[in-house]
């Protein structure tokens, strides 16, 4: 649209239509996103700040926070490692089964989280394939922390890899080859050339991965067993408190997740901006 005067007359909608569309969009946003978000915080603080912090200090809640942090602490670095390795392999080399691998990485996105959870029940449950053997050796995976971590890893599998593959494919492998010719070792090439070029993409993937790891409900719910103070993550703890009509506590804990979402959004926009304005730093 080089010619503005022309486009205004022929291509742009009348002013009132633009106003209407903008208003409708903003109202939707307010109704479905901002009002609920505000409701979470107002409900959480309904009975005062003292009740809010007391609810967060409750033993079961503290344990759920610890478990969620532990889960994210294990799942995110593992998926970061996997994501970088997979993206490296896919973007820089060609091998048979490459497109199949890309499809496979996307699998957790297309499967319902409940199904993801059930897969682990099928494998590790008492009636499952490995169940009897695990019971014999007294190894607990299902209804225990390892199961929760496994389910979380599965669900957050694609985030880092998906972010890096197009980025690394676009960058090609010229720079890596240049580094090798200049005498750099494989590790030097990775840390001095590959990693700096993808660091904002990595951060972006990690943020999204972390948000999902901490907020995942479905898959974790299936494998957790809902043992209070032991296998409940924050989302599960919110559900339990809510089902017990303990609204103030439920919303107080929920506000933690809401806060995480807000922080994630802010960091995400900053990183997106950096990705766009050039990867010089």
Binding stretches for another protein (CB under 8 A): 174-175, 177-185, 188, 192-193, 196-197, 278-281
Q: Please identify, using beta-carbon distances, which residue of 45 and 184 lies nearer to another protein.
A: 184
In terms of Cβ atoms closer than 10 Å to its own Cβ (0-12, 13-18, 19+), residue 51 is middle
Task: Give the orientation angle of helix 234-243 with respect to helix 59-92, to 10 degrees.
Answer: 140
Q: How far is the CB of 170 from another protein (least distance, A)?
A: 12
Q: How far is the CB of 185 from another protein (least distance, A)?
A: 7
Q: Please identify, using beta-carbon distances, which residue of 200 and 217 lies nearer to another protein.
A: 200
CA angle 117, 122, 128 (to 5 degrees): 150
Q: What is the rounded distance in angstroms from the CA atom of residue 231 to the CA atom of residue 216?
A: 14
Q: How far is the CB of 189 from another protein (least distance, A)?
A: 8
Q: How far is the CB of 190 from another protein (least distance, A)?
A: 12
> Cα–Cα distances in Å, from 93 out to 31, 54, 87, 178, 179?
48, 55, 10, 16, 17
139 three-state secondary structure: coil
Looking only at Cα atoms, what is the longest distance across the chain?
79
Q: Please identify, using beta-carbon distances, which residue of 154 and 200 lies nearer to another protein.
A: 200
Q: What is the rounded distance in angstroms from the CA atom of residue 43 to the CA atom of residue 244?
A: 16
Q: Please identify, using beta-carbon distances, which residue of 77 and 186 lies nearer to another protein.
A: 186
Q: Please identify, using beta-carbon distances, which residue of 55 and 193 lies nearer to another protein.
A: 193
Q: How far is the CB of 77 from another protein (least distance, A)?
A: 23
């Amino acid at each position: 649209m080089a010619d503005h005067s022309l486009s205004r007359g022929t291509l742009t909608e009348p002013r009132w239509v633009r106003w209407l569309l903008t208003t409708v969009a903003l109202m939707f946003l307010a109704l479905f996103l901002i009002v609920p978000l505000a409701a979470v915080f107002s409900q959480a603080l309904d009975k005062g700040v003292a009740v809010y912090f007391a609810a967060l200090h409750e033993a079961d809640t503290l344990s759920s926070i610890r478990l969620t942090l532990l889960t994210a602490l294990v799942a995110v670095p593992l998926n970061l490692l996997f994501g970088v390795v997979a993206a490296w392999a896919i973007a820089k080399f060609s091998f048979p089964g490459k497109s199949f691998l890309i499809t496979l990485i996307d699998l957790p996105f297309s499967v319902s989280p409940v199904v993801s959870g059930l897969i682990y029940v099928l494998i590790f449950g008492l009636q499952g394939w490995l169940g009897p053997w695990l019971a014999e050796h007294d190894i607990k995976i299902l209804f225990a922390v390892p199961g929760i971590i496994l389910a979380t890893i599965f669900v957050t599998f694609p985030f880092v890899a998906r972010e890096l593959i197009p980025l690394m494919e676009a960058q090609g492998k010229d720079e890596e080859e240049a580094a090798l010719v200049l005498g750099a070792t494989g590790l030097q090439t990775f840390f001095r050339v590959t990693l700096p070029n993808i660091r904002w993409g990595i951060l972006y993937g990690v943020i999204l991965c972390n948000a999902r790891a901490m907020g995942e409900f479905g898959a974790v719910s299936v494998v957790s067993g809902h043992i209070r103070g032991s296998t409940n993550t924050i989302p599960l703890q919110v559900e339990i408190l809510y089902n017990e009509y303990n609204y103030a506590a439920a919303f107080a804990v929920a506000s933690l997740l809401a806060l995480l979402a807000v922080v994630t959004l802010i960091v995400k926009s900053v990183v997106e901006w950096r990705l766009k304005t050039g990867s010089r730093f």
